[in-house]
Amino acid sequence: MHVLLVEDDPLVANGIVVGLKLHGLTIDHVDTASLADAALATSYFDVCILDLGLPDEDGMTLLRRWRDEGHSLPVLILTARDALNHRVEGLLGGADDYLIKPFNLDELQARLHVLTRRAAGRSTDCIHHGELKFCQSTGRVWLAGEPVALARRELSLLRALLQNSQAILSTGQLCDSVYGYEQNVESNAINVHIYHLRRKLGNNIVETVRGLGYRLGPAEKVEEQ
């Protein structure tokens, strides 16, 4: 899951980035509204954590503008403003969830999963895809009832594919989902992760669409060799 964090306080932002990375999420952090605009324009995000007290623009104004521009990205407002009217205003202003600082990292993570799940139109945490079962919040994967151990990047890749099961995803989109803004990503890094996924979940789990990108395929039990 690719998360955009818009937060101006460096200490809090750093905590969220490190914490969510430990939870296996891909997260990019910006500290101003203008940078958030730029990030949204250039990459694909699954969910956004938005602080309201930004130095250059109020978070609510930014959110309303996004909604007016037609961005349907799920947004969780994370703020110190706890008054009822702020919460109501936030939710009515286009936010999908509202969490008050100080918060619990586990709860934040769970809420982010709920938001992406709902955005994808599902009501349970676990995705079933043929023989494959993938539980988002815990990051556990089963194939035909057997647990499969996947690395963090592989989980991100699988999550991106499962969440867009009908769509063809380009290498760039997959890169966004797996690495975020991380620098120094080797050009064949995604291919390496796809190779590992195919090895663990069957050769057809990732279909290559020539010239366009990749698509989710059927999951099959891999025979031990």
Partner 1 sequence: MTLRLRLLLIIGVSLTALWALVATWMLVDTRLSLRDALDNRLAASARMVAGLVSQFPEPGDLVTAGNKPLDVVARDGVACEVSLLRSEVTIETVARTAGSPDLRHAATGYGTHVYGGQRWRTYVLRQGDIQIATADSIEVRETLVRELILSAGLPFVIALFGSLVVLWFGISHGLAPLERIRALLAARRSGDDSPLPEVKAPAELRPLLQTIEQLLERLQAAIVRERRFTDNAAHELRTPLTGVKTHIQVARLASQRQDEGATLEAALVNADEGVRQLQNILQRLLELARLDAESMEVESSDPVDAAQAAIEALEIVHGHVARQVRVLGVEASRPVRAARPLLVAALQNLIDNAIRYAPSTTPVIVRIEPRDDGMLGISVVDEGPGMNEKERSQAVTRFWRGNPKKPGYGLGLSIVNAIALRHGGVLELLERKGGGLEARLVLPLAEDIEALSFP
Task: Give 156-180 as a DSSP string.
Answer: HHHHHHHHTTTS-B-HHHHHHHHHT
If binding means CB under 8 A, how many residues of this protein chain bind partner 1?
A: 25
Nearest to 24 by CA among 113, 101, 104, 97: 113
89 in contact with partner 1 (CB under 8 A): no
- Of 72, 104, 165, 203, the residue at the interface with partner 1 (CB under 8 A) is 104
- Of 9, 125, 207, 220, the residue at the interface with partner 1 (CB under 8 A) is 9
Which tokens hold the place of 106?
């586990």
Q: Which stretch binds partner 1 (CB under 8 A): 68-76, 99-107, 164-172, 209-217?
A: 99-107
Task: Give 71-105 as a DSSP string.
Answer: ----EEEEES---HHHHHHHHHTT-SEEEESS--H
- Of 41, 70, 83, 184, the residue at the interface with partner 1 (CB under 8 A) is 83
The answer for 139, left when phi > 0, alpha when psi is -120 to 50, beta otherwise, is: left
- Contacts of partner 1 in 32-61 (CB under 8 A): 53, 55
150 φ, ψ to 5°?
Answer: -120, 145
Specify the residue, 102 or 211, whose C-beta has the smaller distance to partner 1: 102
Q: Which stretch binds partner 1 (CB under 8 A): 18-26, 135-143, 184-192, 193-201?
A: 18-26
CA 199 from chain centre, in angstroms, equals 24
182 in contact with partner 1 (CB under 8 A): no
Q: Please state the closest distance from residue 9 (CB atom) to partner 1, in A.
A: 5
Instruction: Report the relative pairing of strands 132-135 and 140-143 from DSSP bridges.
Output: antiparallel
Residue written as tokens 């008050």?
100
101 in contact with partner 1 (CB under 8 A): yes
Residues that bind partner 1 in the complex, under the rule CB under 8 A: 8-9, 11-12, 14-16, 18-19, 22-23, 53, 55, 80-83, 85-86, 101-106
